[in-house]
Amino acid sequence: MGTRSEWIIERSETRTSGGMVAAKTPEAAEAGAEVLRRGGNAVDAAVTAGFVAGVVEPWMSGLGGGGFLVRYDPRTDDATVVAFSMVAPQRAHPDMFPLAGGGTDSSLFGWLRVVDDANIVGHRAVAVPGLVDGLALALERFGTVSFADALQPAIRFAEEGVPVTWHTTLQIARDLPSLTRFQATREIFCPDGFAPFSPDAAAPVMLRQPDLARTLRRLGDEGPRWFYEGEFAEKAVAHLQEGGAPFEQSDFRDYRARIEPATRLTYRDWSVVTTGGATGGTTLAMSLRLLGGLDLAGLGHNTPESLHLMAQAFRLAFADRYAYLADPDAVEVPLDALLSEDYLAERRALISGTTLPAIRSGSPERLGVRHGLARSVPEYVTSDSTTHISVIDANGVAVSLTQTLLSIWGSRVVVPGTGVLLNNGMMWFDPVPGRPNSVGGGKRPLSNMSPAVIFRPGGATAAIGASGGRRIMNCLAQIASNLIDHRLAMQPAVSAPRIDASTVDLLVDARIPEATRAALRNLGHRVVVRDDRLLRGEFASPACVYFANGEFVGGVDPFYFPATASGVTPANT
């Protein structure tokens, strides 16, 4: 019994035996689950849920965004990534965002501030969207339903609308000044100049998007290439050019999502598959391989000793991320060296159990890097606009899908007459020239998304992923450790308090006892306490599914109001 009352929030555990979908909204989760009930597979369900997510939480993702899908099939041991990141237009160049001076920007990454925040809000912040081609490619290679059928639930929600909850009101209100700058955006989301509000939950105001419904229906009729080669692309490019963005029709016409091999690693006696290259998956893989040489189970869950070691491992991985990771098709990136056991053993040897050593990136000579480009050392400022969907079907096939507009509401630019909100993917690039992740024509930015599947060969499988910008990687590493090292069930593994070491401060959840926080301070950490119960998404926001012994268990963020896991009961039970 304490001397002061506390607000306690928790999420009930979801269990079933026929398959499961975890998503950031009930509409997306249930749309995916309905696909599984009708006999569709995990990719069918994930793609359908992905399109729904872009309608019912438009500030997070949509047709104007991009992402990554990881699929693992235990029957064939096949692990594949469908990569559909946003891409810079070909005429983009390193000097396209002149620096304004006066410190860092106030948005997601804390890059040096640019004139008019042009890399954050407006037409020049837009990169070529990849979501439509990516989800279509996933269906083509691994799905069983048609592209048009996968769009039907999204069309229905766009036409009929979704209830405006307090959460919807909050998301619109928090960015109202930017949303009202652009007429087409204002007309959809705040036509009266205010955030819509439902005074009576029994008769809610409905957010309807008729232009988007027409676009989705036309997309189903014409096929995915219409988005890149047809009328939509013509309208989008014309509007972007009017706003001063360096787009040509060829930027849309030439876009192609890609099938890539997954990054594979072993953590304890489990296997992990995730994204690679210029993504958060590379940093997640480095983090887990560093942690794999440490006795976290023996030190105990969330003890000062275990958190001290984890924080150092995370910092080592992030130091190399900021120094070297970028589009490997555009810049020399030492991916093999960074993930080699010899290099990681050297890095792990720097971790101290009693002090906090200085954390630096590995030397370019050691990694064989010859380009001599300067390193990025940005700060992390606020949360992002990303969504995640995890699915495991009745055959045990697992899909982890992360998709985004990048920051909340993306560029805030809607292509007039289409209802399509465009990303601000150019913000992923470091605006300072001469760095690995600087702006470049046709270049893929360094993203934070790291959808993953973890499995014990012949045993349990978990699809894990989250929204939350750079905090995604530390979040997923801790969820994996919770499941594997500390043998927590899926929902407790997701709900457990976490730390984040993606910046110079060590963010520590307020639910971690003060004695533990004090011990971390004494070890040299710059502890900053953040309270996830304030619903600000301080430590990323997961949506995960676990499968073992014929049972599916969901685990979703207890502090993200709409997050939902929806299970399927077999028809014969």
Catalytic residues: 386
Q: What angle do CA 92, 432, 474 make, to 5 degrees?
A: 100
Cα–Cα separations (whole angstroms), residue 465 to 24, 264, 475: 11, 16, 9
Of 487, 479, 471, 447, residue with least CA distance to 543: 479
Closest CA relative to residue 379, chosen from 109, 102, 120, 117: 109
| Burial degree of 349 (CB within 10 A; 0-12, 13-18, 19+) | exposed
Amino acid at site 284: L
Do residues 500 and 422 touch, judged by C-beta distance below 8 A?
no
Nearest residue to 78 via CA among 42, 108, 110: 42
d(CA 395, CA 39): 11
Q: Read off the tokens for 10.
A: 């928790």
Q: How far is CA 380 from CA 91, 106, 384, 435, 539, in A?
A: 28, 9, 10, 18, 12
Please say whether the beta carbons of 24 and 57 come within 8 A. Answer: yes
**DSSP secondary structure string for all residues of 26-91:** HHHHHHHHHHHHTT--HHHHHHHHHHHHHHHSTTT--TB-EEEEEEEETTTTEEEEEEE--B--TT
Structure tokens, 569:
């009961």
Which of 509, 488, 468 minimizes the C-alpha distance to 24?
A: 468
